[in-house]
Structure 1
């Protein structure tokens, strides 16, 4: 799993950290480049909103599936979160870039491998 996370980070120069977290915010796997923010804090703070939004989407859409992807942008950073399996999430912390679509595509292309590896 660590190799896959490293691959995601190395393919995208703007990525600073890639984490797999569980529904309680505990980091299951992680790969970090040099980063100026605390990836553990990001994971802990994102998990509650992810769970809440996932429940919200199920409630309003009557879908079996729930949250698939969440993108957040700040002035300096972008955060991508993807639902994996068994209440785990992939969280990507990256420097803000106008080419975020390219990064998003590259990360999404790795999701099947990540899910299979989990």
Structure 2
């Protein structure tokens, strides 16, 4: 099965400067993605997902960094349950150290905090 790789400029990667994300980065739109972050351990989730910025409208795909955060450190219980039937979740690949919290993804790498 083909690996599902995190994109090169994913804001969840600690080394990414979000202001260098291609295709018209908008800090306001980035901040609005906070609605996709579940309260850790909550049973209701948010109902919102973060799409990868490299996929055009109509061909959206989950942001791999967001997905792995939410089923890991983010403790998004409804999403964890949903991916139990996902046939390619085991081939998702992250690219280096990741932010543990969404808020940190808004910072430039020289100010980023991994925790």
TM-score with structure 1 setting the length: 0.34
More contact order relative to length (CA 8 Å, sep ≥ 6) = 2
TM-score with structure 2 setting the length: 0.34
Q: Which structure has greater strand proportion?
A: 1
Q: Which structure has greater helix proportion?
A: 1
